[in-house]
Amino acid sequence: MGPTALKACAITVNLLFYVFGGDKLWDASKFTAVDDRVRGGSSESFLVPVDGGRSVTFQGTLDTKTLGGAGFASQRTEVINDQGKPLNLTGAASLRLTVKVPDAIDQPPLAAGNAGPGGDQGVEPEGGKYYAINLHDDPAAAQPEGRRNSSVEFKYVFQVPTHSEDIKGSGYSGATRGRRPVSSAGALLVIDAPLHDFKPYYRGRPLGQPTPNDPSGADTTSAITQMPPGSDSNAQVTFKDTTSAADPPQLRLDQIYTVDFMMASYFDRQSGPFALQIVSVAAVATPDDRRPPVHSMCAIF
């Protein structure tokens, strides 16, 4: 894959507060694994502190063989603030994620056994793996062994290049930086995820309009069709939406009970070991010009 053209990040932002990282250290002990093992799968995930908690690595193995093409691995936190109260995103327009994209020679370490059965390295989409951040506004009761009652989650999907070389090329608008040798420090990728683009899903299936970056090829009709990329029409999987596509659930910004970082198969489009170093997640206000926020990505070297 050739380099991806990315603009330089703006210096000034309408930052409201950090949800994770930034002005406080990450506490990985507050996250728990919610993987497809609760449904008989074999995927697993970990959240590993980096540099004393200044960032974390969301890593693990996504297995799609056990469940016949399906699979997910996620890390969830149910304690959002020190008082244990739900996160209130009222007044925010976007969540701004800052992640580190490693150089090819500086890949973050993976957990033992991450290569999967038989050393299988899995499948990676062109352009890098897809990750998701999920918000839950329902305090669904926890069940034994990490199980939870199924509830609607609001999902935002984003794609991250595998190596910083993929964004440190001639396409980078920073010009001269793209022509010098790549350093071992990697690159920081800033992703703005508009809150109005967090779309409702139930057990991995979109309720009405899917998130704009969903790679599964989901249709938006009331009988939603998802088809694996590269498959013919006979391979499609169709299921009935549980709500009206014209009246999907709306995210209640004033009561966010849980936040997940997720890796999912999107019908066997991706699998195998994964690792994403997350520096921070921040709540960002509406732009000064009052335009609706849009998905955007930029790079910091």
User: Can you say whether residue 38 is alpha, beta or left, with left for phi > 0 and alpha for psi between -120 and 50 degrees?
Assistant: alpha
32-88 confidence digits (pLDDT tens): 999 999 889 999 999 999 999 999 999 999 999 999 999 999 999 875 667 778 899
C-beta of residue 283 within 8 angstroms of C-beta of residue 19: yes
Going from N- to C-terminal start, the domains of the chain cover 13-200+256-300
CA distance 261 to 149: 18
Could you tell me the pTM of the whole model? 0.77
User: Do β-strands 223-226 and 187-194 pair in parallel, antiparallel, or remain unpaired?
Assistant: unpaired
C-beta of residue 202 within 8 angstroms of C-beta of residue 224: no
215-253 confidence digits (pLDDT tens): 876 433 222 222 233 333 232 322 233 444 557 899 999
C-beta of residue 8 within 8 angstroms of C-beta of residue 173: yes
